[in-house]
Structure 1
Amino acid sequence: MAVGRYSKYIRPISYLVDFLLMVWLLLFIFPLITFGVKGTLFLMFIWVIIASFTEFYEVFRFTPPSSIFIKIVKHFSIFSLVVVALLYLLKREVEPKLTLQFLSYLLLLVTFFKYGIYFLLRKYRQLFGGNFRRVLILGQSDRANELSAFFKKNDDLGYRLLAVITSGDELNDFRNIVKENFIDEIYCDLNSVSKEFSDEVIAFAHSNFKTIKLIPDNSALSHNMFLDYYGYIPLISIRKTPLELWFNYWLKRIFDILFSLLVTVLILSWLIPLVAILIKLDSKGPVFFKQKRHGINNQEFDCYKFRSMRINDEAHTQLASKNDDRITALGRFLRKSSLDEMPQFLNVLLGDMSVVGPRPQMLSVNEDYAQRFDKFMERHYIKPGVTGLAQVNGYRGEIFSDKDVENRLKFDLFYIEKWNLFLDIKIILVTIKNFILGDEKAY
């Protein structure tokens, strides 16, 4: 049965269009003899080699726009160096302005085409229902339910969820359901089925040319795993998190220092004296509230905030709640506007915190959660942040149930494993938006 999709043609068309743009710009900008036929073919060959290295054309329906941007930056950074080196080796005397024009126009046109195809396909799937995949979910854990909700919510990705099989009889009959519904992709939840059954599903998918994807069990949920081979023996390795790589670590640290210096000079330089006067007029006590928190590798540090409560004995053991009578009149405004957190940019400059990362908890709360929630201490693989992915997704403020902690942990672990600088910038922009519009969970 035809499914009305033509995904297999998208990649070769993308290659063809990029090559045509390259040739057109070479002829349009440079004198004809600059590269010649051999030089042009060599550039195309190098383009393909670089693309395989940067995975430039590995763009799927579930690929986020930020990942596409990263691919473009990586690809053109390397390609630009190759073009400059080739001009030098060919001993062509070309004005630097022409080279810059060629690379700039190529970058602009390829980016426009790449994003154009990406968003046009999403809109096409949403409006006309084309370019779709028929999918089946086997299992009923929270992860399987989240995936089901994801497919239903993101109709522009083109996943048609035709069935979610949970009961024993239906599971045993999954082969007929796959064949009768012309299923393209099978998602098997390892939390809900036995190893024997998952092996059976994998074997069936392979023999019937169906895409099979596994929803990992909780023991593997927070790890980037891949296979290494020692001879012919496969071994599962745990991939390092991005911030364990020295380049990424220092990239984030330099960004933290520059951003925090900007905040300190432009905002804290006048905000601290102003708030200090208001706090002293409002209630007795120090301007800053200093509290021990756990940071990277579970090391303790002093976290600074503007004091928003009366001096009380429970300040280091009891979390704030809505209508908490310990909060002062000014403190209520500071907490509602999140201005009480601003001194933490000083913690960033000191190196104890980052602008973006998992939010630090008071010691007693942190130790309690570490005992009750698996993988909670994995949040301390990186520095805690002034803001974080969990916070911009609505998980901030008072904890009402264990589910709140689990959801925060889910976002924190995702951030640690998928970090990139553009994700930090996105989180900061959403935080600024929430600061301006207000957050109902800030109190």
Structure 2
Amino acid sequence: MLLDLSVLVGVVYFLNDLEHTSYKFLGYMLVFWVFSTLFTGYYRVFRYTSYYRVLGLLINQIILVVLGYYTYFSVFREGVLVGNQALFLSYFFTGLTAVKVVGVFLLKKYRTYGNNYRKIIVLGSDSSSRKFVRLIRKEKELGYQYCGFFSKQTKRSEDYMGVLEESFAYVLEHEIDEIYCSVTELTEKEIKKVTKFANENNRIVKLIPNTNELYNKNTVTEYYSNSTLVLRVKELPFELVENRLIKRVFDIVFSLLVCVFVLSWLYPLLFVLIKLESRGPAIFKQKREGLHGGEFVCYKFRSMYLNDVSDKEHARKGDERITKIGAFLRSTSLDEFPQFFNVLIGSMSVVGPRPHMNKQSDLFTKEVRNYMKRKSVKPGVTGLAQVSGYRGEITKKIDIDNRVRLDIFYIENWSLALDVKIIVQTMLNVFKGEEKAY
């Protein structure tokens, strides 16, 4: 994307005419390029992507850019004659083609020399698996380093690495990037076990079907050649860069609106009320666990008297540490509003799994199944578990189990519409009150 944007800027300043060098035009084209390529999947070119597919993506993008280009002069510069339009488009498309086609060609050539490769293993030894292995060994430009296969059927050969049960340790020890499973040899239960292991250890799982295999909605077909088909387990929403970008833009816009129109007057008002009732800072700062287990400072309006166990003990019903103004803040969730500053600086999101205290997080990581998975996204000011009634003190194991279950559902089924729905439900809960908001 940076190379393509550089070509765009370079052509603009090479032509050096008044209409194309305006900041308005350049800004429009840069923004249009970013969002149009995310929409068309222009950069979703993989190791197995054919030149025909690359050419198709290029043609689609060129058509879209032409439409966007003339839309600018029709809407923003109506009636203005620009003499260098054909020259601009021809230069830009020439540079674009060179970057895309030549870039892909050079990268494939680079891989034939054993560079930029991914290490893979195969689980299974049926005919489809052997055919796939032959392809990987032959097509060096795909950039895969085949390390061997594991099989329940004892087929001794130089690339036989052991039985299926030994594959997990091998993956971790030899830093394997991708695991290919034969759907003919492995049972559904074994494939689920492999997928769970891969998700927990950030590995990619793909399936090698036989010719009669039926494909389900959880897989995507990939052709490594005209005759070799592989099934890829569908990516989670946040594994797609366009979804992360959309969520981040939404977070910035929403938190800015809250900061400007709510916190601008709410902060000084609550600052005075909190300080009048008890000594101590108006903003309470606490280290909590964030994205991928990293640590960040979480901000809240202080709702308790100063005490030595605020980082160890969660608030309880009737907790004597809570001030009068603090009880109001907690019941209305106003104490969480400073976390929109966390959203602005990027340590939190508006919607996501709620961040726990470090002590709690360390405990839950050891004792709660799939707890690590919720750390794959930024923590949120609000979340699906919270609007579903799972907030406040954790008294039973089922409380945290249900929170984690809902957090994982959110991660696996994210959409912008779901975020908006959770935000609306949060606001409704504030007005009608929540039993566990203490």
TM-score (norm: length of structure 1): 0.50
The residue number in structure 2 matching 1:240 is: 235
Matched, 1:255 2:283: no
* CA shift in 2, pair 1:238/1:271, >3 Å: same
- Separation of aligned partners in 1, 2:248 and 2:258: 15
Out of 275, 283, 292, the residue aligned to residue 280 of structure 1 is 275
- Separation of aligned partners in 2, 1:268 and 1:254: 20
1:297-316 residue CA offsets vs partner (Å, 9 max, x unmatched): 11111000000011111000
The residue number in structure 2 matching 1:422 is: 417
Q: Matched residues, percent identical?
A: 49
Matched, 1:407 2:402: yes
Q: Report how far residue 438 of structure 1 moved.
A: 1.1
- Separation of aligned partners in 2, 1:220 and 1:332: 42
* CA shift in 2, pair 1:255/1:228, >3 Å: farther
Amino acid at match of 2:304: M
Q: Report how far residue 398 of structure 1 moved.
A: 1.0
Q: Report how far residue 437 of structure 1 moved.
A: 1.2
- Separation of aligned partners in 2, 1:233 and 1:372: 43
Matched, 1:305 2:285: no
Contact (CA 8 Å) 1:222, 1:414: kept in 2 or not? no
Matched, 1:316 2:311: yes
* CA shift in 2, pair 1:401/1:217, >3 Å: farther
Contact (CA 8 Å) 1:336, 1:438: kept in 2 or not? yes
- Separation of aligned partners in 2, 1:218 and 1:441: 39
What is the SS of the residue equivalent to 1:302?
strand
- Separation of aligned partners in 2, 1:326 and 1:264: 28
Point out the structure with the larger helix share.
Answer: 1
- Separation of aligned partners in 2, 1:413 and 1:245: 17
Amino acid at match of 2:343: V
Amino acid at match of 1:321: R
- Separation of aligned partners in 2, 1:359 and 1:240: 23
Matched, 1:433 2:428: yes
Q: Report how far residue 439 of structure 1 moved.
A: 1.0
Q: Report how far residue 244 of structure 1 moved.
A: 2.2
Amino acid at match of 1:285: G
* CA shift in 2, pair 1:418/1:233, >3 Å: same
Q: Mapping of 1:155-304 within 5 angstroms?
A: 220=196, 227-228=207-208, 239-304=234-299
Contact (CA 8 Å) 1:222, 1:413: kept in 2 or not? no
- Separation of aligned partners in 1, 2:322 and 2:345: 28
- Separation of aligned partners in 2, 1:270 and 1:360: 26
1:261-298 residue CA offsets vs partner (Å, 9 max, x unmatched): 00011100000000000000111111011000111111
Q: What residue ranges of structure 2 are gaps of 5+ in the alignment?
A: 1-39, 41-59, 68-73, 76-187, 210-223
* CA shift in 2, pair 1:386/1:222, >3 Å: farther
1:90-113 residue CA offsets vs partner (Å, 9 max, x unmatched): xxxxx99xxxxxxxxxxxxxxxxx
Q: Report how far residue 241 of structure 1 moved.
A: 2.2
- Separation of aligned partners in 2, 1:399 and 1:301: 22
- Separation of aligned partners in 2, 1:277 and 1:431: 26
Q: Mapping of 1:87-106 within 5 angstroms?
A: none
Contact (CA 8 Å) 2:259, 2:340: kept in 1 or not? yes
The residue number in structure 2 matching 1:130 is: none
The residue number in structure 1 matching 2:157 is: none
- Separation of aligned partners in 2, 1:222 and 1:356: 26
1:105-124 residue CA offsets vs partner (Å, 9 max, x unmatched): xxxxxxxxxxxxxxxxxxxx
* CA shift in 2, pair 1:225/1:441, >3 Å: farther
C-alpha RMSD of the superposition: 3.7
- Separation of aligned partners in 2, 1:218 and 1:360: 29
Q: Mapping of 1:305-384 within 5 angstroms?
A: 305-384=300-379
Contact (CA 8 Å) 2:352, 2:379: kept in 1 or not? yes
What is the SS of the residue equivalent to 1:264?
helix
Amino acid at match of 1:267: V
Contact (CA 8 Å) 1:359, 1:386: kept in 2 or not? yes
What is the SS of the residue equivalent to 1:397?
coil
Q: Report how far residue 219 of structure 1 moved.
A: 7.7
Q: Report how far residue 355 of structure 1 moved.
A: 0.2
Q: Report how far residue 414 of structure 1 moved.
A: 1.1
What is the SS of the residue equivalent to 2:270?
helix
- Separation of aligned partners in 2, 1:228 and 1:305: 50
- Separation of aligned partners in 2, 1:412 and 1:234: 34
The residue number in structure 2 matching 1:71 is: none
1:212-233 residue CA offsets vs partner (Å, 9 max, x unmatched): 999x789849969763558999
Amino acid at match of 2:291: I
- Separation of aligned partners in 2, 1:396 and 1:441: 6
Amino acid at match of 2:283: F
What is the SS of the residue equivalent to 1:424?
helix
TM-score (norm: length of structure 2): 0.50
Q: Report how far residue 236 of structure 1 moved.
A: 7.8
What is the SS of the residue equivalent to 1:386?
strand
- Mean CA deviation greater in 220-229 or 425-434: 220-229
What is the SS of the residue equivalent to 1:423?
helix
Amino acid at match of 2:207: L
What is the SS of the residue equivalent to 1:305?
strand
- Separation of aligned partners in 1, 2:348 and 2:437: 21
Structure 1 residue ranges (4+ consecutive) displaced by more than 2 angstroms after TM superposition: 216-241
What is the SS of the residue equivalent to 2:300?
strand
Q: What residue ranges of structure 1 are gaps of 5+ in the alignment?
A: 1-52, 54-80, 89-94, 97-211
- Separation of aligned partners in 1, 2:319 and 2:228: 59
Amino acid at match of 1:398: E
Q: Mapping of 1:128-139 within 5 angstroms?
A: none
